[in-house]
Amino acid sequence: MSADTKTIAFVVFPGLTPLDLVGPLQVLGMLEYLRPEEYRVAVVAERIEAYETDAVLKIVPSHTFADVPAPDVVVVPGGATPAFRAMTDETLLGYLREASAHAEITASVCSGSLLLGAAGLMKGRRATTHWTAFELLPEFGIIPVRQRWVEDGPMLTAAGVSAGIDMGLHLVSRLAGDEIARMAQFGTEYDPEPPLGPLDWSSAPREFFAPAAVSWVTDGLAERPELRDRLVAWL
């Protein structure tokens, strides 16, 4: 690995949503496969140990935050209650601030954009997140945009969960060009054909998910009642 090799760091915290992480990781990992002298991928956390997720799956990072203090690209996943709980983790927030200060691109998936907002990195930026948490973006000074992914200077945010794959392909194109991005798309055989067709957002089950969104905030931010109450007011 040369001194010019760019590092893409994927951040792990307890309880994250696996596809938020693994979707773009699989896509951006193609950069390391196709151009190993130019890119390397790292999965980073405070400690190297098995971290619970919100699925029946644990994730073990490859490096600690201290091992990768200044990545060229940092990608932050999201989640439900644990993502809001992570907003109280000063070690994590400190790493996001430090990594973003050095990174060419700071990206997020789902409620990862809210974590970036909690770290003070998104004020005045356009961004998106999972549709159930979309109304919370302005609390962090974020300009909400309903798109699959949103790019604002060095900040790149994706909507919910599977949107991280689309964002990952866009990021490959930005870093290495359309030809490599197409290779990554073929490599992952990403050609979605959902059996029920595309989503009709006018019929989104908002009433079903609304109580869950409130519980994510209230349970996750139990130790930060002021922030908890401000966020709940948006829901």
User: 32 with 39: CB under 8 angstroms?
Assistant: yes
HEC secondary structure over 131-157: HHHHHHHHHHCCEECCCCEEEECCEEE
Exposed e or buried b per residue across 7-38, where buried means at least 16 C-beta atoms within 10 angstroms of its C-beta = bbbbbbbbbbbbbbbbbbbbbbbbbbebeeee
Phi, psi of 3 (to 5 degrees): -65, -20
**Dist. CA 111–CA 94, nearest whole Å:** 18
Q: Which of 22, 93, 110, 115 is catalytic?
A: 110
User: 39 with 184: CB under 8 angstroms?
Assistant: no
- Would you list the DSSP string of 24-56? HHHHHHHHHHH-TTTEEEEEEESSSSPEEBSSS
**Dist. CA 213–CA 132, nearest whole Å:** 6
Task: Verify whether residue 110 is a known catalytic residue.
Answer: yes
Catalytic residues: 110
